Amino acid sequence: MALKIGVLISGSGSNLQAIIDEIEAGRLDAEIRVVISSRPDAYGLVRAKEAGIQTVALSKDVYADADMANEAIASELVHAGCEYVVMAGYMRKVTDAILAAFPDRVLNLHPALLPSFKGAHAIADAYEAGVKVTGVTVHFANAEYDKGPIVAQRAVEIAEDDTVETLEAKIHEVEHRLYPQVLQMIAEGRVQVGADRKVHIS
């Protein structure tokens, strides 16, 4: 049975596209039931519509009350029959309304090796810090920003001739491979959050 997911986006939706492509290629046993965007002009909505996926776009007015926005999102996700929530470039914090509806089933993708370089500028922060290795983290979201049990991480080396732009491209390339792989492991029932609040993969 395909894993039923809802995807939250805010921008271009390149990670959404990677998930769509892997599903269509038969490498990911999942079904995207709905794509919800925090911005009505997000290009990811176009990608979703082209793939025949139901979309919901929330306006700035809705987000004036974050709790009300999250309750609306949770309601849409539940109504669509989603089992997991996948944040893919979603730039809003999810709150208890969503987390309570999907306990340990809200995934986030972060462009750094958490707990290093949290926040919205992780790629630039890692580059400016002069570290030689950064990477990508997939973790379960919780009430604290960029925290929660880590499911998978992949390292990305920062070369001497890298710019912020080339580093960003390298990180996105890894994201596009890693996120569908994690979703496939979940679809196979191999990912569990233990009593120790650590992720165990069988």
Residues assigned a catalytic role? 110
CB atoms within 10 A of CB 113: 20
C-alpha–C-alpha distance, residues 151 and 140, integer Å? 7
Question: Helix or strand or coil: residue 190?
Answer: coil
Phi/psi of residue 94, each to 5°?
-85, 145
Which residues on neighbouring strands pair with residue 34, listed in sequence order? 6
Alpha-carbon gap, residue 57 to 59, rounded angstroms: 7
How far CA 201 is from CA of 110, 144, 184, 191, in Å, comes to 20, 23, 12, 5
